[in-house]
Amino acid sequence: ENPYSFMRRSAALVLSSRWEALPTVLIEAMACGCAVVATPVGGIPEIMTGPPAGHLMAARDADAMLEGWRRLESSGELDEAGRAARRDYAERFGWAPTTRGQLAIFSHLTGVALDEEAAAAPVGHGL
């Protein structure tokens, strides 16, 4: 079954990973409006930069999960305004902002002005 329907009906996602590179499930959960409580490993802290995303756990254990949930619950971020803010926050990680960021890096490194239109052109055209 489609996990997004569950995420849309959930208040929060708890991710207690030992290791994550790009935690796509966090971005997907936030895009569905879920708040997140997660361990600060791998790429998670880069995505979880504070409200409206959710909270990082101090450790990977039950007490830290409970504390993360309590902080989330007492923050007032579980209301509809918080859900909307998380959906907007998740948009930062979409294809368009990612592509613009990569083009900026490539332009800086190569000295060639690139934009989305030039990047979509066939090889050898527009560069």
Q: Please give the radius of gyration of the chain, using alpha carbons only, rounded to the nearest integer.
A: 18
Each residue's pLDDT tens digit, 112-125: 888 767 666 665 54
Kindly list the distances between the CA atom of residue 48 and the CA atoms of 45, 51, 108, 116, in Å, as whole numbers in the listed order.
5, 8, 27, 27
- Does the global pTM surpass 0.85? no
**Is residue 62 within 8 Å of 125, Cβ to Cβ?**
no
CA atoms of 36 and 29, how far apart (whole Å) = 8
- Torsions phi, psi for 72 (to 5 deg): -65, -45
More confident: 121 or 38: 38
Each residue's pLDDT tens digit, 67-120: 999 998 998 889 999 999 999 999 888 888 888 888 999 989 999 888 767 666
Whole-number pLDDT of residue 76: 87
